[in-house]
């Protein structure tokens, strides 16, 4: 993918054609082998790193701003004095695997807030840093004409995650790398779970549902289905796979209900979201997952009509091999008959909120979000706006 972006972006292509070791990695532009001088007046080689901004999936736009990161020791003048005129701070911030933003650089062009393109910006920073090395050894250069292999063809996204690189959380996002996630049930809540999980670099997302995507589904699912979509009578897994495969390469549709006869479909999954609306079904799925030692988050939603208005209770219950002694008191095996949700009231925002609670908890389990409470059950009551947490893990 990186060769395509470089070839289609004139400024990046010019950098490569002039012999600089340019690499597109994740959502960053990296320039390797930048000669610089340390405080001991030694010549070493660092990496310049800048967030990649795309105008389209494969064409670079204008840089976000005038700053960059430098990976290496403090860049110094030939005298050994630090280049404090361009070093704003030294955060030592992890950016990519093996590359940290040790120093945060800032240099504006006179009378301008930003650079027109990556060539103008990168070459300026290369020259500012490497001039000291050339003063000591005139043959030093960042232009090595060394080819860099494209190692990202196996990435899970069809285009770069420039959102994470722009926020400098790409290294943190690696906590999702290699994971295989299952979503059981693609109704309102499950489809929103898919929407959120598809934006993480998990390896695979397995979708389990045996129903068709119909009109009532369209009103409580992310996006906007067309009449042609509805007339196509697609299976839910195929409909949503068609949408999210445009972004994520690891969508795996499985047109099936999960029960004891199909439990082999769960083998190899690292985590499962349960998004079904029948207690008896969810209870059976939970027993299977406990037997298979697969962590899960069960979503539940009860909607009732009170004095001509709707109120709701949203539930998020987590189970893991280490913590599951609370489940029998939190998840019943009996199906209720007084839930207005079963009447197909269109409540997309409650489905989305239920999914949000579940995905946030999943990310807490992975260490993406800080989790000081470590609750394994929480409930949100709509009409009083109250969240209650329970079953705290010691």
Prediction pTM value: 0.75
Measure the CA–CA gap between 178 and 225, rounded to whole angstroms. Answer: 31
CA distances (Å), 212 to each of 186, 256, 378, in order? 10, 11, 31
Look at residue 164 in the predicted model and tell me its pLDDT: 74
| CATH 3.40.50.720-classified regions of the chain | 178-392
What's the token pair of residue 132?
């000291």
CA distances (Å), 339 to each of 60, 188, 283, 329, 330, in order? 51, 16, 18, 20, 17
Mean pLDDT, contiguous 10-residue spans, the chain (394 residues): 82 93 91 97 97 89 95 97 97 91 94 93 97 97 80 69 73 90 96 97 96 92 94 95 95 96 96 93 95 97 88 95 94 66 67 97 96 96 95 86
What's the token pair of residue 387?
């969240």
Phi first, then psi: what are they for 100, rounded to 5°? -115, 150
Look at residue 4 in the predicted model and tell me its pLDDT: 79
Is residue 39 within 8 A of residue 90, CB to CB? The reply is no
Measure the CA–CA gap between 66 and 50, rounded to whole angstroms. Answer: 10
Helix (H) or strand (E) holding 139: none
Cβ neighbours of 5 (radius 10 Å): 22
- 205-244 burial, b if ≥16 CB within 10 A, otherwise e? bbbbbeeebeeebbebbbeebeeebbeeebbbbebbbebb
What's the token pair of residue 141?
């250069």
> How remote is the C-alpha of 143 from its chain's centroid?
34
3-state class (DSSP) for residue 88: strand
What sign results for the dihedral spanned by CA atoms 268, 324, 286, 263?
Answer: positive
Class of domain 178-392: alpha beta
């Amino acid at each position: 993918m990186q060769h395509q972006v470089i070839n289609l972006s004139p400024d990046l292509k010019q950098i490569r054609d002039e012999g600089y070791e340019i690499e597109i990695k994740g959502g960053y532009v990296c320039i390797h082998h930048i000669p610089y001088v340390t405080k001991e007046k030694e010549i070493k080689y660092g990496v310049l790193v800048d967030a990649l901004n795309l105008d389209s999936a494969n064409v670079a736009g204008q840089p976000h701003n005038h700053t960059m990161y430098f990976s290496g020791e403090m860049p110094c003048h030939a005298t050994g004095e630090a280049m404090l005129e361009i070093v704003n701070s030294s955060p030592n911030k992890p950016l990519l695997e093996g590359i940290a933003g040790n120093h945060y650089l800032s240099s504006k062009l006179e009378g301008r807030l930003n650079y027109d393109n990556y060539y103008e910006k990168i070459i300026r920073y290369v020259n500012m840093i490497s001039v000291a090395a050339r003063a000591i050894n005139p043959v030093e250069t960042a232009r090595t004409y060394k080819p860099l292999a494209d190692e990202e063809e196996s990435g899970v996204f069809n285009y770069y995650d420039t959102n994470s690189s722009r926020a400098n959380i790409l290294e943190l996002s690696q906590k999702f790398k290699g994971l295989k996630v299952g979503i059981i049930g693609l109704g309102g809540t499950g489809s929103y779970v898919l929407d959120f999980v598809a934006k993480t670099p998990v390896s695979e997302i397995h979708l389990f549902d045996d129903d068709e995507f119909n009109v009532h589904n369209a009103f409580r699912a992310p996006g906007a289905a067309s009449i042609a979509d509805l007339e196509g009578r697609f299976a839910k897994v195929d409909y949503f796979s068609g949408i999210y495969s445009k972004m994520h390469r690891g969508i795996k549709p499985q047109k099936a209900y999960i029960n004891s006869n199909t439990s082999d479909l769960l083998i190899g999954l690292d985590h499962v979201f349960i998004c079904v609306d029948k207690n008896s079904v969810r209870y059976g799925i939970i027993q299977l997952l406990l037997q298979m030692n697969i962590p899960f988050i069960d979503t539940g939603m009860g909607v009732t009509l009170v004095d001509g208005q709707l109120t709701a209770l949203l539930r998020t219950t987590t189970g893991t091999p280490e913590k599951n002694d609370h489940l029998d008191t939190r998840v019943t095996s009996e199906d209720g008959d007084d839930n207005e949700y079963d009447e197909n009231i269109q409540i997309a925002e409650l489905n989305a909120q239920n999914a949000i609670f579940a995905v946030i908890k999943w990310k807490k389990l992975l260490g993406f979000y800080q989790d000081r409470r470590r609750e394994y059950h929480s409930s949100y009551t709509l009409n009083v706006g109250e969240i209650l947490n329970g079953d705290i893990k010691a």
